């Protein structure tokens, strides 16, 4: 009986009113849930194929890993020379160009560790709730980055939200995806509130 009532409500909303999936998302969501069960897994034209999504996530993980390992040459190979960054914890202004980040990578391990002695430091990351949007040769990956730095007797956790934009400088047959922009936003905590609020 309950399902019948929901069907009736969805039909009335879509047929006898001005509601549409744009102006009234409830009707659109309800209709999708009733007829194809995708209420919680909406699909969009920008969604990549599963194969491309896997490639892009692997690229993202590889790019991040080069930072933790301090591998500037590997990072440069995955990044455009004119890359731009907004990094709230470094500068309130946009940072342009690859050169700054190549220098930053050399000191990044010690900075994450919170100490100058980073020899025994192990850095791990997790990409939480990633969303990938692809528009032709450009892909946007937005997610929450969770970083865990482990030293003997000490573990430090960091997290923030990121959007990274990659562009394919190659072709579909021979892709050459590189990072062209990154925007980081803080997950407000007691430690970051002073930076966020000035």
Contacts of 13 (CB under 8 A, 6+ apart): 19, 24, 26, 27, 30
> Domain extents for the chain?
2-36, 50-197
Predicted confidence at residue 113, as pLDDT, reads 57
Instruction: Tell me the fold of 50-197.
Output: Nuclear Transport Factor 2; Chain: A, (3.10.450)
Per-residue pLDDT tens over the stretch 40-81: 457 888 999 999 999 999 999 999 999 988 899 999 999 999
Which residue ranges in the chain fall short of pLDDT 70?
A: 1-41, 109-119, 189-198
Predicted confidence at residue 112, as pLDDT, reads 63
Tell me the pTM.
Answer: 0.72
3-state secondary structure of 161: strand
Predicted confidence at residue 19, as pLDDT, reads 40
Tell me the CA distances in angstroms from 9 to 17, 35, 42, one per residue in order. Answer: 11, 13, 20
Residue 103's Cβ-side half-sphere holds a number of Cα atoms within 13 Å equal to 4
């Amino acid at each position: 009986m309950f399902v019948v009532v929901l069907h009736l409500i969805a039909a009335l909303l879509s047929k006898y009113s001005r509601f549409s999936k744009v102006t009234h998302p409830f009707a659109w969501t309800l209709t999708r849930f009733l007829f194809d069960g995708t209420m919680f897994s909406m699909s969009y034209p920008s969604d990549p194929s599963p194969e491309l999504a896997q490639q892009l996530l692997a690229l993202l993980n590889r790019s991040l890993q080069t930072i933790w390992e301090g591998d500037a040459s590997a990072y440069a190979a995955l990044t455009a020379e004119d890359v731009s960054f907004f990094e709230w914890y470094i500068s309130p202004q946009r940072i342009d160009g690859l050169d700054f980040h190549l220098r930053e990578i050399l000191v990044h391990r010690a900075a994450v560790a919170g100490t100058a002695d980073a020899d025994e430091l192990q850095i791990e990351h997790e990409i939480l709730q990633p969303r990938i949007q692809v528009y032709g040769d450009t892909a946007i990956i937005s997610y929450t980055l969770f970083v865990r730095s482990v030293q003997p007797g000490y573990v430090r956790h960091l997290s923030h939200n990121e959007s990274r934009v990659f562009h394919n400088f190659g072709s579909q047959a021979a892709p050459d995806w590189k990072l062209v922009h990154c925007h980081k936003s803080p997950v407000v905590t007691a430690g970051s509130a002073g930076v966020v609020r000035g």
